[in-house]
Structure 1
Amino acid sequence: MSGQDEEARYTLASYAGKIGGQAYSKKNKAELKLFYSDEWQQLHGYKSAGQRNVQSGHLAKLNDEISKSRPEQRSEAGKLGAKARIAKQQIEKTALFDEKHIIQKRANLVRWGIKIDGIRVPFKKLSSDFVDYHLMYGTQKSYNTKKMSETEKATEK
């Protein structure tokens, strides 16, 4: 390597390092050393990172601290988590955004209609706007507009 320019030395060193690194990795894998050993994974691996936080009590301490000192932060964190989850579901096309799920939900709506105020309304009588809304945001619960919640009753008096 002494007669080579700087770029050639760098290329040779890089190549030798890749060959040596692969050989070293194969040897460690065969002997279950370092990264490939169960002990190393328990101490340093990401698979059990969440379990370590729960087992050590660190997660419980954090939850208690946030609940006592900054309850508004917990509420804000929940909202941010929900937004992130919905964005992830939109990208991955899962849950509400799964086309198969929406097709199945529509088929059930066509077959059974929907129960509103205790009366089953057939699919033919539902508006397209209602159907679209129900498919995207509807719940598994039946619609009941007659019942008033406790808070509505209290505010009415």
Structure 2
Amino acid sequence: MRDDDEVRCPDGWLLVAADHPTLGRLYWRYCDESDVNAADFYGITDNIQLASWIKAGWRDKDVWANDYSDMSSFVARRFIQELLNPDRYDTNYFELFNWDDESEDLELHGDLHDFQRRSGQSVEFFVHWLRAADWFDAPASDCHNFP
């Protein structure tokens, strides 16, 4: 784990991002909580300083995390699936069965709810956007361009 004052070299590291038409650039945010015997955190953020880092080449080979907020290739390859997994402990994504009209309703909480509300999209359209977005790799060195 890194000290708060330690500056990290971004060479060889990436952020996973997508450009939302209303919200702007969003990033994957992950936190390995195994040290405290809790569920890992999967979320999105518009704060580049909070975005999780992953080593370059993760899409083609196995890479490992160096810090609790880094992603391994294994975590990254299933990120959206886990972000939108209603059965994952401590999820912010829920699929609720509506017995009145025998349909499924989606419900978001936490960061997902906040972004969905700010997007102006319905829950269904926002979730569709998350699944269909072009999530691309951006150099981690970009995060040093912001305060």
TM-score by length of 1: 0.23
The structure whose Rg is larger is: 1
* Higher relative strand content: 2
Normalised TM-score (structure 2):
0.24
* Greater share of residues in helix: 1
**Bigger relative contact order, structure 1 or 2, given CA contacts below 8 A and separation 6+?**
2
